Structure 1
């Protein structure tokens, strides 16, 4: 029911995902009068789905506290998340209100042991392929321990998604020198360097231009900075696309040049297509939740479902729990400050 277009985009997106992965099964939550007319036009999806009517749908402009208070136990968003808690679904996917989704997910699923705040991890296109960036909006401000938690969770996600045995990790900072940055970032860097956890290769600080270069597999930052970086990258991609369209249509010679180089421009457009990497993963919860961009189309919804499939198939939550346990043991052995002092 969420996003800018609701069932008219979500249902066709699920159909595309089903065509790619026939083994998928869906539990669809929403208002019957809005969902069923669309679902009936997709018989294969309907056959692979179970529909559950919900009287309440969280609006995109609802405040998280309002959505949690009014929509708990009866909204389509709550019941989608609850299906993961009850084992009726492996992953929850929603294009709805981000703040409400995070509030409900945290309240319903709870955070993992020793995790104070969850994070949203995004897939980031780079010159080398793809990286993971977190947090991109869940936690505004983060102390050293939270940055370490994000690093461990991001590494687990990289192993699950990219099949990398020991992902490289970088902390986003204003410079690569160890003396630069806020105290929390420098402390997190020191602890990551000293811990030498087996499944994580810490490479030190990285800067903003390293995001596009793909210098490391996982870039870690707090939610305010991460969200600004994400929105800046999205806006820059749209700006470049607009420049190219204007340049290619300006003169007859430019149009001819576009025709001759069309295949190259098609590859560039495909590489810059934000729908291909749609879907933010909520990490640190006792269950996996995927947040789709609210303004995406059916292809973007399908990409978010593809991501959900990968996270479930590779046991993301179990990997994170295992890595956090091992890391905290190493941290205890190195006589680091206890949790109460860190937080």
Structure 2
């Protein structure tokens, strides 16, 4: 059986921009369920922040019974929660939209997965309490800068509704893959919001503010919003839950292959429920066959899959993958086009030629 020898590969991140740093994971060239820190994709709106971590404290204020400032030592001493989570940029696969949309032209690698350890936000909030009028929780990061549409200085800030914030799996993380989170991924504390696109997982948390109204920051109310119309903002809705999706990792797109037996493989993931089926088509979508799911189900992680292909006839082939989840979501033939290019999840496809 032919396959790529992943043990010999030494892939690097694929750069998009350097300041701010935006680089994607070479998702087609990595194996396993855990992405190393060095190969975890990087998404930033601003240059890396500057602050003194040795004097780091985390304040929680606003609509609480008791405002409190937590030291790192206090947070480390609380009951810890460890979860494997897939984080996907909402702009993942943006370059595939037709017609094209403006924004970082991500390929298929603005997605990574690993093991995060921290304290549940619900646990942390037990020390402050929430007032009855609390509606949303705002997370402000240390990263800041000027947006293209304004000369005003902004910190990257996002909010969560109370219900999502109090989900036991929403954590304030301080470790990744059994090591302290690296600076480039949010050291010393990063919010992890399983099931939501990764813009919600705010890095370098500066403070947490509980508010009694809807948060209207630009990274909540302007960016990370689905705009279905090119001409106006009618029908806009916020970007939240990850769409069901899949990616073919091998073979590579436009690869030349000799006739033989090949293992087509990839990953599939979803924001809610679990992946229940992945299908593959070798003939451009005319017929479909079930793939073998090769990794066990874990609540917030991707599923690995493969399919054995007897590629004996010469010619060009369009291979497609389609995932479905337990909530009844199925990858569509075409993505739902939106002006900012979020949430692409159309059936994945590649082309290969058997010589």
With the length of structure 2 as denominator, give the TM-score of the two structures.
Answer: 0.21
Greater relative contact order (Cα < 8 A, sep 6+)? 1
Structure richer in strand, relative to its length: 2
Structure richer in helix, relative to its length: 1
